[in-house]
Amino acid sequence: MRTLVVLFLTVPGCLHPVLASLPRLVVVLVFDQMRGDYLQRWSWLWEDGFRRLLTEGAVYTQCFYQHASTVTCSGHATIATGTAPQWHGISGNNLIPSCCRLLVRCTEDTAGQIFSGWLQVPTLGDYLRQHFPESRVVSISHKAQAAILMGGHSPTTVLWLDPAQGGLVSRPEFLQPKWLPEWNRNNTPQRYAGMTWTPALPASLAPPDSVPWEAPFPEGTRSFPHRIPSTDEAFWDGFLLSPYSAEWLFNAAQEAVTQEGLGTDSIPDILWLSISTTDFIGHHFGPDSREIVELYYYCDRLLGNFLRFLDSAVGRSRYLLVLTSDHGVAPIPELLSQHGPGAYPGIDAGRIGTEELTSFLHHRLLRAFGPWSGMAWFTLSPPLLLLHQEQITAAGFSPNTVRDSLYRWLLQYEGLGVVLPSSSLWEDTAGDSSIADTLRLLLHRAFPPQRAGDLLLYPKPFWIFGTEVPATHGTFYDYDRFVPLVFFGASIPASYSSETVSPEDIAPTLAALLHIPVPTATGRPLILMPSH
């Protein structure tokens, strides 16, 4: 195994000759919810794309987000900008904007319209188009949030799946690609209706099927085979919970490369591609399920086909692909704490129902402050608790008094591990040992100043918020922050590193290879070279 030397390139003239042939197409491939151990954990299964990345790419085995906002919006924004939510502003799927004390979706304005304005800094694609206005920046995902945030403020094409429209749709303020209507007609997801997802791996080589705590596939079963229903609402659930939705999006990406002419001239282009199937199935069946292993085995072939397509359409030495993820995931808590097929009993794990927690706080407020209080005084969207200060003040009480009462009650609630007034993140905390310095830094980097609500609350290790899905993420624990990172293509040599790095390093690294500055990035450029 080779060791690595990391060069910090600050001026174009410093580029090493081995990287002199700059990529004409950069592909950033995000497998949503792909935890960092997956590539090595199942390495013996890989036969195609993942094997090629691991044998020919520059692999970082210790890549961790350096903030506590381990959710879709924050992760994609961090990858695209090279900085943490503290600076890029996307602190969660729901966030508190600088304009007002309310919660909004990360890619919607206060009226619910599509909006990228909460993203406070430029993305790599924005900087690329500042230097090369003819560059094409294309962003594609199953999810609107991922596509919009990766695309940034000045993309050329942004596409995502809209079931209501039956295919890919474009941001309304941009011209729809001329090729899209015909592609949608010829590649309708409905052609997968009635198809059956059957396992490809022998049962002896896969985790147990039909673990009791998994959610059922839309046709009603927890075990293979899974048939995609034909009825409309159930169809879309089944399609997105099958590997065919990943196949469909890879096909769309290939069409975009071809039709947009990405990587075919001397002007560098970027393709952002976010596969959300892995997130949907991970939530539904959990990271230790037969379904998640079968999905990644299927994606191994899809990735291999995609790499061969890029080899042919762009040229092996002319593109650079980066593989990473927007966040990791925790195990299904019942799998850790109870007996059953595939379970590991004895670990303190559980789930905190958001509705139950809201009801608990509501009744405590009613008893302490009277019938005009309760849920009218707060909004809970873990990890944020936001007080409605005007209503509290109008009732004759101090918001700080209410906050302190909620804080005491939350400290007593089963399953909560960290509760703190968010103001403490920006106050002088010398001598305060209530929270470790490392954790304080992760929390501090997760929120822009004064935009973390009134209280922050996180579960204990292996506890999760919510009862809607079996498995989820969103904490500062390693299993949620740990993601893969592989650079592949162009002149990048095969290498491995156990150095701790971050997805914040992706945009600066790519910028160095493209010879453009990214002054707002807080990550560092990682240029991989074999030692001599």
Q: For residue 175, name the pLDDT band (cuts at 50, 70, 90).
A: confident
- Residue 261 pLDDT greater than 50, yes or no: yes
What gap in Å lies between CA 70 and CA 73, rounded to an integer? 9
Residue 173 is predicted with a pLDDT of: 82
Residue-averaged pLDDT of the chain: 92
442 and 67 Cβ atoms separated by less than 8 Å: yes
287 and 42 Cβ atoms separated by less than 8 Å: no
Q: For residue 508, name the pLDDT band (cuts at 50, 70, 90).
A: very high
Q: What is the tens place of the pLDDT at every residue in 323-356?
A: 999 999 999 999 998 876 666 777 899 999 999 9
Residue 248 is predicted with a pLDDT of: 98
What is the per-residue DSSP string for 347-387? S--EEE-HHHHHHHHHHHHHHHH-TT-GGGGEEEETTEEEE
Q: For residue 426, name the pLDDT band (cuts at 50, 70, 90).
A: confident
- Residue 499 pLDDT greater than 50, yes or no: yes
Which residues lie across from 170 on neighbouring strands?
159
The percentage of residues in the chain with a pLDDT greater than 90, rounded to a whole number, is: 84
Residue 530 is predicted with a pLDDT of: 44
Based on DSSP, count helices (H) and strands (E) in the chain, helices before strands.
18, 21
Q: Which residue, 494, 525, 136, is CA-closest to 314?
A: 136
What gap in Å lies between CA 65 and CA 502, rounded to an integer? 5
Q: What is the tens place of the pLDDT at every residue in 144-162?
A: 999 999 999 999 999 999 9
b/e code 358-385 from CB counts within 10 Å (16+ = b)? beebbebbeeebeeebbeebbbbbbbbb
Q: What is the tens place of the pLDDT at every residue in 385-413?
A: 999 999 999 999 999 999 999 999 999 99
Peptide bond into 189 cis (omega under 30): no
Q: How far is CA 341 from CA 146, 207, 324, in A?
A: 35, 10, 31
332 and 470 Cβ atoms separated by less than 8 Å: yes
CA 414, distance to chain mean position in Å, is: 28
Domains and CATH numbers, the chain: 4-334+476-530 (3.40.720.10), 350-461 (3.30.1360.150)
What is the per-residue DSSP string for 307-337? HHHHHHHT-TTTEEEEEE-S---PPPHHHHH
Residue 433 is predicted with a pLDDT of: 54
93 and 75 Cβ atoms separated by less than 8 Å: no
Q: What is the tens place of the pLDDT at every residue in 289-332?
A: 999 999 999 999 999 999 999 999 999 999 999 999 999 999 99
Stretch 110-117: mean pLDDT:
93
